[in-house]
């Protein structure tokens, strides 16, 4: 395919909602609140914000530079900028990581579909956490329903991707992202107006640094990578569809800002409600599937809020899943010259199979266990704790040391047609050359040695 007929985003708003759509996902609604709960509240949030601003923003800018300069999928872009070099491993990691993330992401996406339907039945609305725990584990450990839900989720996401960048990804992000923000604000208002919710707000905003440990730092950094979709070529792929006139730095700030604001609103939608009923927010990953239904059972309009909430989860998950599928689709269409249909169909079959295995490993097929972890946990661990940080480190090293400074400045200032402050540029260079790789190295080593 020549560069001329390459699909692209049609407007700045389109770019923004697509980037925000990728970033805002289960990471914000499912992972962030329980990590905040597990790590002592406000102190975790402050550290998280620090990582987002100091480390992740520069990494996002770096991915944008690679994508738009290389004008190709994550593999092809590197091949253009540094032909036949070891840097191509960035492209390899991005394809592998997309697969490993989707292998568990799509399973959780399936759970959200099931819980939307479940919100219509009465069994979900009991004020009994043991009962809700049993319901949840009976579901995820059963053979058929979770697998079917996963396939349904995957089919939904694949259909959007097959329609193309402009007519699929951009179109649906434009529709779904504003809806998502609206719905989450409604749920946050409901949560904040419950009696007793003030304690939850205090937990979110009054820091207690005595709870901070090394593990808090690791969790915060890993979460920042995951939540901003960094380290696996998503942002490289998306920025290859961004027009030359757009200001990459501005888009990064807006994308990262939208993701962060959404995480905070999600925190406000979930944590105060949990506090209002005297339940601990440190319930871990089951917080949204077990703890929240218990809250919904006790509040006026609980059923409506429950339906809305699981629809929110679904929308957030779909707009992220499409970015993961697009990484591999772009690779297959551009590097192997496959048609978009053939690429997405192949990905659907492959992911359908791997995701089914990961879902079955939660209970129906307990022998699917490697290194003491079932496949689901293993895919989560390999991607978030190894591939993302590794990919992120390679990206900043590549942009900081391999691309030359003039080239980099040229891309960020759109060929000197927009202003990009020289001092800011120097700070940026310093961060991507030294600070970010070192910080990531420490995280990786700490994970490795722990
Ligand atoms: N950022 C997404 C979320 O928060 C997950 C994701 C990670 C999407 C990496 C794409 C790439 O749920």
Structure tokens at 336: 């192997």
For the cut 70, the answer to whether the pLDDT of residue 4 exceeds it is no
Please determine, for residue 349, whether its predicted confidence score (pLDDT) is greater than 80: yes
Does ligand 1 come within 6 angstroms of the Cβ of 323? Answer: yes
Tens of pLDDT, residues 226-266: 999 999 999 999 999 999 999 999 999 999 999 999 999 99
Q: What are the sequence ranges of the domains in the chain?
A: 3-449
Q: b/e string for 382-396 if b means 16 or more Cβ within 10 A?
A: bbbbbbbbbbbbbbb
**119 CA to centre of ligand 1 in angstroms:** 26
Q: Is 64 exposed, middle or buried (0-12, 13-18, 19+ CB in 10 A)?
A: buried
pLDDT digits (tens, 9 = 90+) for 83-102: 999 999 999 999 999 999 99
Q: Say if ligand 1 is within 6 A of residue 313 CB.
A: no
CA of 255 to the centre of ligand 1 (A): 13
Contact between 391 and 94 under an 8 Å Cβ cutoff? The reply is: yes
Quick one: 3-449 is in which CATH superfamily? Amino acid/polyamine transporter I (1.20.1740.10)
229 CB under 6 A from ligand 1? Answer: yes
Question: Does the beta carbon of 21 lie inside 6 Å of ligand 1?
Answer: no
Centre of ligand 1 to C-alpha 300, Å, is: 33
Please give the backbone phi and psi of residue 101, each rounded to the nearest 5 degrees, phi first.
-70, -45
Flag whether the pTM goes above 0.85. Answer: yes
CA of 128 to the centre of ligand 1 (A): 32
């Amino acid at each position: 395919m020549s560069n001329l007929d390459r699909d692209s985003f049609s407007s700045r708003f389109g770019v923004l909602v697509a980037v925000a759509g990728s970033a805002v996902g289960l990471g914000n609604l499912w992972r962030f609140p329980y990590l905040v709960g597990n790590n002592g509240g406000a102190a975790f949030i402050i550290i998280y914000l620090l990582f987002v601003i100091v480390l992740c923003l520069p990494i996002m800018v770096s991915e944008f530079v690679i994508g738009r300069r290389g004008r190709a999928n994550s593999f092809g872009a590197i091949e253009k900028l540094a032909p036949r070099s070891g840097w191509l491993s960035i492209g390899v990691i991005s394809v592998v990581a997309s697969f490993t993330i989707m292998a568990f992401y799509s399973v959780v996406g399936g759970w959200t579909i099931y819980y939307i339907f479940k919100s219509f039945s009465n069994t979900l609305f009991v004020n009994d956490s043991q009962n809700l725990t049993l319901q949840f584990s009976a579901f995820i450990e059963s053979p058929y329903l979770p697998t079917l839900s996963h396939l349904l989720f995957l089919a939904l996401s694949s259909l959007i991707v097959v329609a193309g960048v402009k007519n699929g990804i951009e179109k649906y992000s434009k529709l779904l992202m504003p809806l998502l923000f609206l719905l989450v604000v409604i749920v946050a208002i409901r949560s904040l107006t419950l009696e007793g919710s003030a304690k939850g707000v205090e937990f979110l905003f009054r820091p207690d640094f005595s709870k901070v440990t090394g593990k808090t730092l690791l969790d915060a950094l890993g979460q920042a990578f995951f939540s901003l979709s960094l380290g696996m070529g998503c942002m490289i792929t998306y920025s290859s569809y961004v027009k030359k006139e757009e200001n990459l730095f501005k888009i990064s700030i807006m994308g990262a800002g939208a993701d962060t604001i959404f995480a905070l609103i999600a925190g406000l939608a979930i944590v105060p409600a949990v506090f209002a009923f005297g339940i601990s927010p440190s319930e871990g990953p089951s917080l949204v599937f077990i703890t929240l239904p218990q809250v919904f059972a006790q509040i006026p309009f609980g059923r409506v809020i429950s339906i809305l909430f699981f629809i929110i989860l679904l929308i957030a998950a779909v707009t992220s899943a499409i970015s993961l599928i697009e990484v591999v689709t772009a690779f297959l269409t551009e590097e192997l010259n496959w048609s978009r249909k053939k690429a997405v169909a192949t990905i659907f079959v492959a992911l359908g199979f791997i995701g089914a295995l990961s879902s079955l490993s939660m209970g129906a097929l307990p022998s699917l266990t490697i290194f003491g972890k079932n496949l689901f946990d293993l895919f989560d661990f390999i991607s978030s704790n190894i591939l993302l940080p590794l990919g992120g480190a390679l990206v900043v090293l590549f942009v900081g040391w391999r691309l030359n400074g003039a080239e980099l400045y040229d891309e960020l200032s759109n060929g000197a047609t927009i202003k990009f402050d020289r001092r800011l540029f120097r700070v940026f260079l310093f961060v991507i050359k030294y600070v970010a790789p070192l910080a990531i190295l420490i995280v990786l080593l700490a994970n490795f040695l722990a």
